[in-house]
Copies of this chain bind each other. A is one copy, B any other.
Amino acid sequence: MSVHFKKLALIGIGLIGSSIALAARRHGLVDTIAIATRREETLDEARALALGDIYTLDAAEAVHGADLVILCAPVGAYEALAKAIAPALEPGAILSDVGSVKAHVHKVVGPYVPPNVAFIPGHPLAGTEHSGPGAGFAELFSGRWCVLTPGPEVPQEQTDKLVGFWRAMGSNVECMDAAHHDMVLAITSHVPHLVAYNIVGTVADLEADTKSEVIKFSASGFRDFTRIAASDPVMWRDVFLTNRDAVLEMLGRFLEDLSVLQRAVRTGDGPALEEMFTRTRAIRRSIINAGQETAAADFGRPHEAVPKSEEQR
């Protein structure tokens, strides 16, 4: 099956949008790339990086004649964008997105999608803590998962074509129900980010002299949290505004468990602490066995600092 598109319209060109532009171009998946942004400076930056062929501040103009449209803007902007582009969408086109939540996207975009357009929300599980058009690179999706959540009304061949597009950019692709996606991501991604942001915030409120030492000695665990908590603030704001129920459900479980651990610390319950710290190792082994991680010692430091023999253990 061909995964080639005549015209790809990217609405928004941050880390993910620019990486799609570079990857689609490298793998010859599209003839023309149209880029629409809200802010003129972002558009200028995309043009300077030669990420596309057509540059416009008018999203409807970008989607005109496009057989693949991908929303790459913050999720909070989706509803207004959907309203604006709906009349310009081509019959037979695929409309997708890259947002971190999916049920909300179905809810706010779905009603605007014309019946002859295949609406297939998507979520590439890839990223770095950098943002903006200059942060993208063509290898971003290589070996990473991309989840698609097509509704039951979408023709299978359209879903297959979008699956092929992501596979051609190096992704592993899985289709699932939007609500299930949101629950799984709440615990794998949203709650970890909330917790990381929170602990960095706790440090930000410390007395000045303690804070400077926390920064100095950050390599002992805290540093890894600051990396996670350096991600794009607007994107994450929208994640928590739009996946509220699943996040609160998983955060509730997390807090229950943390109360148990807190009590074990307070009462000095050594066996309970050791049992907990041992049990969690099995999960990490599963992740390594699933090929989602290597066993190499790392802690977020450049590997040059680690001897070769260590890297390969």
Contacts and interface: CB of A to CB of B under 8 A. Distances in A.
Contacts of A227: 224, 284, 293, 298-299
Per assembly, the copies of the chain total: 2
A276 B273 CA distance: 31
Contacts of A225: 192
Interface in A183-200: 183-185, 187-200
Main secondary structure, interface of A, reads helix
A204 interface: yes
A41 interface: no
Contacts of A293: 218-219, 223, 226-227, 300-301
A189 B220 contact: yes
Contacts of A284: 200, 226-227, 229-230
A213 to B, nearest CB: 5
A17 to B, nearest CB: 16
B217 A125 contact: yes
Interface in A270-313: 270, 273-274, 276-284, 286-287, 290, 292-294, 296-303, 305-307, 309-311, 313
Contact of A137 (B128, B282, B310): B310
A205 interface: yes
A244 interface: yes
A228 interface: yes
Interface string A258-269: 100110111010
Interface in A104-152: 125-130, 135, 137-139, 142-145, 147
